[in-house]
Amino acid sequence: MITLKEATTKSELKQFVKFPFSLYKGNPYWVPPIIKDEVDSFDKNKNPVFKDADAWFFLAYKDGKIVGRVAAIINWLEVNEQGLKKMRFGWFDFVDDKAVSKVLLDKVAEIGKANNLEYMEGPVGFSNLDKVGVLIEGFDHIGTMITWYNHPYYRSHYEAYGMVKEKGYLENKFLFSAAHPSLFSKANELVKRRYKLRPLNFTKSEDIMPWVDKMFDLFNASYAKLSSFVKITDIQKEYFKKKYISFINPEYIKFVVDESDNLVAFAIVMPSFSKALQKANGKLFPFGVFHLLKAKKHSKDVIFYLIGIHPEYQSKGVTAIIFNEYYHTFTEKGIVNCIRTPELEDNIAIRQLWKHFNPVTHKKRWTFRKDL
């Protein structure tokens, strides 16, 4: 018999976070989160997303053992401001038993119906800065700290529940050696001169902080037209500022401003922490923090996390300035591989942006949908 229990206490949420550690034990491609950080992100007193969202965390038990988990989420900004009557779900993991996945999805559907929502979609997080999509292809590639990994059998569970593909996401990578200066150096000078733009580079995190609010405003403007976009609120800006900016090498954050110092473009790149997180195995102390600091300083792989261009400057070649700046930084750091985060299949503009770097699609993800 399968039973469900809602995780509400800190101890129960810790069990929720730790379940995948047993499910993926020994898997060389799964990247564990830092347990404390993940638990804190589910804390309604610590994560400001709960000002505009509700979430329920459920564990499935069979014979006294945890066999699955799911987070049921309603983002009220999405529901009330965008008119999308969507029940979200994420952090969805389970053993290969369709009775287990069904019980969990039934609970998500129950909450959605109780709140008069029209359909459910997942796996997704609270917002666009969270992880997204179930892995469909690319199971033999290591995950990243900003993506979920899953067993190949997951897809069959979604389909057995009557769910269908809602959105497709591609993950691509390319060798830094493919980023030859001839692709962007000449355009870089031309665009800077034509639009009176200049790049901003940083060596200290504190120098970035005065620009971060403007960066999130530009993020909202840049991505507003994409499907499923939910804006970052002012209170979330402060949260993400503290959570992420100090964690990223300052030289990996690039801004472009106009002659009046208005922000027109930004890019955030992270060193790859995948191997370091595997060594840390969910814990910062006593040794996990040293693995992460080593990766931050010495990783030869980088992840392009976000690129945002003001709508007035899109299709004007501003990315040539960004690429030129990264070329010099990455050359100095000896970077080998450039990895991109999941991008919507229908985002043709982003594919055009990278086409000259000979990217290879190494992973595919989907979200699944079912009407309620």
The pLDDT, as a whole number, for residue 121 is 98
* Burial class of residue 225 (count of CB atoms within 10 Å of its CB; 0-12, 13-18, 19+): exposed
CA angle 320/321/327 to nearest 5° reads: 85
Q: Which residue has the higher pLDDT, 345 or 241?
A: 345
pLDDT above 90 coverage of the chain, percent: 84
Say if CB 86 and CB 113 are below 8 A apart.
no
Q: What is the mean pLDDT of the chain?
A: 94
Orientation of helix 185-195 relative to helix 319-333, angle to 10°:
130
Strands 253-257 and 343-344, how do they pair? unpaired
Quick one: average pLDDT of 302-329?
Answer: 94
Quick one: average pLDDT of 308-335?
Answer: 95
pLDDT above 70: residue 328? yes
Give per-residue pLDDT as tens, 76-110: 999 998 899 999 999 999 999 999 999 999 999 99
pLDDT confidence tier of residue 228, bands split at 50, 70 and 90: low
pLDDT above 80: residue 368? yes
Buried b / exposed e across 121-148, counting CB within 10 Å, b at 16+? bbbbbbbbbbbbbbbbbbeeebbbbbbb
Record the tokens describing residue 294, joined without a space. Answer: 């080593």
Q: Which residue has the higher pLDDT, 356 or 169?
A: 169
Give per-residue pLDDT as tens, 24-38: 999 999 999 999 999
| Identity at 168, one-letter amino acid code | G
CA angle 52/54/59 to nearest 5° reads: 155
| Identity at 366, one-letter amino acid code | W
CA–CA gap between residue 126 and residue 231 (Å, rounded) = 11
Report which DSSP code applies to 31: -
Give per-residue pLDDT as tens, 283-306: 999 999 999 999 999 999 999 998
pLDDT above 70: residue 2? yes
The pLDDT, as a whole number, for residue 231 is 81
Cβ within 8 Å of residue 290, ≥6 positions away: none
Domains belonging to the chain, first-starting first, are 2-170 (3.40.630.30), 175-363 (3.40.630.30)
CA–CA gap between residue 12 and residue 16 (Å, rounded) = 6
CA–CA gap between residue 47 and residue 340 (Å, rounded) = 26
pLDDT above 80: residue 247? no
pLDDT above 80: residue 254? yes
Q: For the chain, percent helix, then strand, then coil, each to nearest 5?
A: 40, 25, 30
Give per-residue pLDDT as tens, 122-177: 999 998 779 999 999 999 999 999 999 999 999 999 999 999 999 999 999 999 99
CA–CA gap between residue 166 and residue 228 (Å, rounded) = 11
The pLDDT, as a whole number, for residue 227 is 62
The pLDDT, as a whole number, for residue 230 is 78
pTM for the structure as a whole: 0.94
